[in-house]
Amino acid sequence: MLMEVKDLSLSIGKVALLDRVSFSVDRGQVLGLVGESGSGKSLTALALTGLVRRIGGRITGGSIVFDGQELSDLPEPAYRKLRGKRIAFITQNPMSALDALKTIGDQVDQVSRLHLGLSRKAARAHTVDILTRLRIPEAATVARAYPHQLSGGMKQRVVIAMALAADADLIIADEPTTALDVTVQAQIVMILSELVKKRNIGLILITHDMGVVAQICDKVCVLYAGRVAESGPVWQLFDTPRHPYSAALIGCIPREGMAPGALKGIPGTVPSALNYGAECCRFASRCTRADALCHTTRPLPHSQGAALVACHHPQGTAAQPEALDV
Ligand SMILES: Nc1ncnc2c1ncn2[C@@H]1O[C@H](COP(=O)(O)OP(=O)(O)OP(=O)(O)O)[C@@H](O)[C@H]1O
């Protein structure tokens, strides 16, 4: 397994924000990390990249094993060597990763010169090769351009090129296309997934877009209020979601031919981290299947088909969003 996260718990100050989160991703796989805003996706990415310490986060339990190496207690200097070189991180606002005063080529070259020790000339050839693979036309010319001369979609590809320039084994992309229009989003997501297969690397894609998950992910981990609700192969999640929260998320996907105004969300909101509650199902207050047990006892993950599901009353049949009154 390329990366295996097991029972990862994380706090900022006294507030416990992640609670025994587990998932794994192998080479050639795309793992989707999904859930509504505030479910803990970004914090998980920051934990995996060792950056959570910079915002005062502390891993309080569990393990993160990357290619056989335990990362949860890795000192920052060692993490610095890993980040960028073996684990590349594309953040939510990737445009800010570009320096307006340097050419595209200089910025991408810099990564492979630093991490792969390439000469100036070899680095430029490497950059042009990556830009071409990302389907940037006239890559050698684009390499001589400045960020302001490129469209948003092009700039985003350049940021992905920077993530790829060091030949990382794992890419963690946190909502990498949020700032772009829908067609460009789809293109970039497809490019990323092709790269995973071609280069046999792993990708953890953080998104709230279940359509993207269905399109490119092999596995999916559904987070809710800092815990895993359901994790397993993507086909099962869409075919027979077992956790009512997963079913509700799928019920929110817009479908072709849907009447205007038919699109609904999940009633209620993700609880604040201050009110998470330890001994309950955190989704209980929004779930129509919930009973007294759900309000008093934490559901532990157990096998349901090919997935692990943390629910006292999992669904066994096809998605029934109407049963959830969404
Ligand atoms: N620096 C911080 N200090 C305290 N609490 C935080 C901090 N960052 C995040 N949180 C809390 O942790 C929880 C998870 O946040 P996180 O940003 O990981 O969610 P997310 O799923 O990535 O949401 P989004 O899709 O909006 O990015 C939220 O309750 C949030 O308020």
pLDDT value at residue 323:
44
CATH topology of domain 3-221: Rossmann fold (3.40.50)
CA distances from 94 to 18, 54, 183, 295 (A): 25, 18, 18, 40
Nearest ligand 1 atom, CA 92:
27
For 155-223, the three-class secondary structure string (H helix, E strand, C coil) is HHHHHHHHHHCCCCCEEEEECCCCCCCHHHHHHHHHHHHHHHHHHCCEEEEECCCHHHHHHHCCEEEEE
Query: For residues 22 and 193, what is the distance between their CA atoms, to the nearest angstrom?
Result: 22
Q: What is the pLDDT of residue 260?
A: 62
pLDDT, tens digit, 9 for 90 and up, residues 72-124: 999 999 999 899 889 999 887 767 789 999 999 999 999 999 989 999 999 99
Of 12, 15, 17, the one to substitute when testing ligand 1's pocket (max ligand atoms within 8 A of C-beta) is 17
Q: Which of 8, 36, 39 to mutate to test the pocket of ligand 1 (most atoms within 8 A of CB)?
A: 39
Q: Is the CB of 208 under 6 A from ligand 1?
A: yes
Q: Which residue from 226, 228, 206 is spatially nearest to 300, judged by alpha carbons? A: 228
Relative to the CA of 40, which ligand 1 atom is closest?
A: 18
Supply the pLDDT for residue 200: 95
Can you tell me the ipTM of this complex?
0.94
Predicted confidence at residue 324, as pLDDT, reads: 45
Nearest CA to ligand 1 atom 5: 12
Cβ(91) – ligand 1 distance below 6 Å: no
Please state, in angstroms and rounded to a whole number, the distance separating the CA atoms of residues 62 and 8.
4
Atom 28 of ligand 1: nearest residue by CA position? 38
pTM: 0.90
Query: Measured from the CB, is residue 95 less than 6 Å from ligand 1?
Result: no
Which residue has the CA at smallest separation from atom 14 of ligand 1?
Answer: 40
CA separation for the pair 41, 36 (Å, rounded): 9
DSSP β-ladder status, 87-90 and 170-174: parallel
pLDDT at position 317: 54
Quote the ligand 1 centre to 38 CA distance (angstroms). 5
The pLDDT value given to residue 257: 72
User: CATH 3.40.50.300 spans which residues of the chain?
Assistant: 3-221
The predicted pLDDT at position 16 comes to 95
Give the residue ranges of the chain where pLDDT is below 70.
94, 179, 258-264, 317-326
**CB of 43 closer than 6 angstroms to any ligand 1 atom:** yes
Nearest residue (by CA) to ligand 1, atom 7, is: 12
Contact yes or no for 216/192 (Cβ under 8 A): yes
- What angle in degrees, to the nearest 10, is found between the helix axes of 182-199 and 152-164? 20
Give the single-character DSSP code of 135. Answer: T
Residue 17 Cα to ligand 1 midpoint, Å, equals 8
CB of residue 12 inside a 6 A radius of ligand 1: yes
Residue 94: the pLDDT is 65
For residue 146, the CA-to-ligand 1 centroid distance in Å is 33
